[in-house]
Amino acid sequence: MSQIDEVARYSFAGGEALLYKEIGKALEYILNQTKIFCVHITTNATIIPDESLIPFMQHPKFYLAISDYGNLRQQAALFEFCYKHSIKYHFHEQQEWIPMEWVSHGRSKDELKKQFSNCTAGKNCHTVYDGRLYHCGQMAAMAAAGMIQPNQFNSLDITGEGDIFEFFAQDYQEACDMCNFGIDGLPLVPAGEQENGKLERSPFIVVPRSELEKRKAWEKELTEGNKWLEQQYLSYKAKYERLNPMRELLRRFKR
């Protein structure tokens, strides 16, 4: 943390983070970091959190991000849990996923540059895994699965060695060749439980009666929040592109 100025949002992503036995300890640590402004756990509503997690989840910085897997009973039970314990949550209905295969697509360096520049996950979802900061969750997962080897280009040693400038100055990543983020025009896959390629998601969603009005206000805030995130992304992207001449100089200097 000593090398970081601030983190706008820290996410425990999945798989299903609530299955992790040490999630309470991890939450406590992250919530106590003053440089982190917002913390959330993403869940698919298949698990009601353990009671020991309630005090952490009631923290003003925390909210639960609930994915719409389409099981109305499970969703209702989790909403009730959140409502009863005053835990903030956001329900992501109508999510769509990018189809992913993790196979080499044989993309050229220029294609990889374009993909890396287009990819929001590569800019907003930096992920820590096994003592290293990766550009995105996909690369961290690929490293965990042994599909890529961690190196100075795809990840940064967070114990303090390594050059954070060089890490963020990368303009493409070989790992993107096995990923479909940042590729335009792919048909998206509706999120939810699938069996034999068939989506099991209910056509309805659960909305707590008591929250109908609050929900409208929250959605408005969320829309504004998303606009803010989009602006951050665009300004980051512009700054990133402004660094291109410097990257080129750095590369020449190193040759």
Residues of this chain that bind ligand SF4 (CB under 6 A)? 115-116, 119, 121-122, 135-136, 138-139, 173, 175-176, 179, 181-182
Least separation in angstroms between CB 251 and ligand SF4: 20
Query: Would you say 23 or 139 has its CB closer to ligand SF4?
Result: 139
CA distance 170 to 135: 10
Grouping H, G, I as helix, E, B as strand and the rest as coil, residue 36 is strand
Min. distance of Cβ 183 from ligand SF4 in angstroms? 8
CA atoms within 13 A on the CB side of 213: 1
Using the minimum distance from each CB to ligand SF4, give the nearer residue, 71 or 173: 173
Q: Is the Cβ of residue 78 or residue 125 nearer to ligand SF4 in the bound state?
A: 125
Bridge partners of 244, per DSSP, are: none
Q: How far is the CB of 163 from ligand SF4 (least distance, A)?
A: 19
Q: Is 170 exposed, middle or buried (0-12, 13-18, 19+ CB in 10 A)?
A: middle
- The label of the residue with tokens 């009631």 reads 58
Question: Closest approach of Cβ 237 to ligand SF4, in Å?
Answer: 13
What CA–CA distance (Å, rounded) separates 214 from 225? 16
Are the beta carbons of 83 and 57 closer than 8 angstroms? no
Instruction: Output 49 or 182, the one with its CB closest to ligand SF4.
Output: 182
Closer of 43 and 173 to ligand SF4 (Cβ): 173
Residue nearest to ligand SF4 (CB): 122
The distance of closest approach from Cβ of residue 184 to ligand SF4 in the complex, given in angstroms and rounded to an integer, is 12
**Residue 45 or 136 having the CB closest to ligand SF4:** 136
- Contact indicator for 90, 75 with CB cutoff of 8 Å: no
Q: How far is the CB of 78 from ligand SF4 (least distance, A)?
A: 28
Helix orientation angle between 212-242 and 244-254, rounded to the nearest 10 degrees: 50
φ, ψ (nearest 5 deg) of residue 51: -60, -30
